[in-house]
Amino acid sequence: MSQILEIPVIHMLNDLDKEFIQSLQVSTDRSYRGFRHIEFEIDKEKSVYFYILDKQEDYFTQSIWDRTIPRAPFTLFLVEEINHTVQDLITQYERKYATPYFIFIPFDKSVEDKSNDLAQEDNESVFYFNSDEENGVIKTLLSALKQFTERREEVEK
């Protein structure tokens, strides 16, 4: 029986395709009303579904958010940088949803202090991913998943 990991994604990237989609080996890419469905197949039995949520101000889109976010292990924020707008958005998100989140930022290779290994900010929710590397996002996702399970184990203790 196949297993699916569903991750809602809220993005504020300049070029979603270039900075996120193209760094995945996408097996399915379909747009629906309210969201875009990107499937990454790990193997024949496991897939990751990224739900890129639309940002329209309508009731239908709002309901998509309410249906996907609470059921996901965490939400992914894809942003260029953490600025005032992003912080506001995160604050509002935290007030509305109990679902934890991670922030993924495509890192600029021209910045010398970022190594090829995925670096993590002091903020444990922030990860950088290499959008030019094949499946760069997936490697970052793996790190985020590990941290997520570690956190959960600590809470359970």
Partner 1 sequence: MRDFLIVSHNEDHFHLFNQHLGHLPVHFSWGGELGDALENIPIENPAIVLLINEDFQELTQWVDAYIVAETEIPFICCSGLLQKEKRLELWKKGAADLFCFPMNRKELEYRLKSFLGTDTDKGPDRWEMRGRLEDLNLIDLIHSFEEGNKNGVLHLQKGAQRGRIEFNKGKIVNARLAKRDPLEAIEVMATWFYGRFWTQLDKEKHTKRILLDNQQIILECLNHINMQYRLLARLPAENKVLYASPDLDYEEMGPTNRNVLLLFKEGNTIQKFLENYSEKSIPVLERMIQWIKDGWLLDKDAFEKKLKQLQKEKEESGIRKMVNKIFTKSDKKSAPKHPDSGESSKQFEEEEMAVSVTRRSYLFNQYSTLDDFIQALEELS
Q: Which residues bind partner 1 (CB under 8 A)?
A: 3, 5, 10, 12, 14, 42-43, 46, 48, 55-57, 61-62, 65-66, 69-73, 85-86, 88-89, 92-93, 95-100, 135, 138-139, 141-142, 145-146, 148-149, 152
First vs last C-alpha separation in the chain: 32
Q: CB count, 10 Å around CB of 46?
A: 12
Q: Do β-strands 101-106 and 75-79 pair in parallel, antiparallel, or remain unpaired?
A: parallel
Closest distance to partner 1 from the beta carbon of 125 (Å)? 15
Shortest approach of partner 1 to residue 142 CB, angstroms?
4
CB 141 within 8 A of CB 48: yes
Q: Smallest gap, in angstroms, from Cβ of residue 90 to partner 1?
A: 10
State which residue, 59 or 112, has the beta carbon closest to partner 1. Answer: 59
Give the nearer residue to partner 1 in terms of CB position, either 122 or 154: 154
Q: Is 107 exposed, middle or buried (0-12, 13-18, 19+ CB in 10 A)?
A: buried
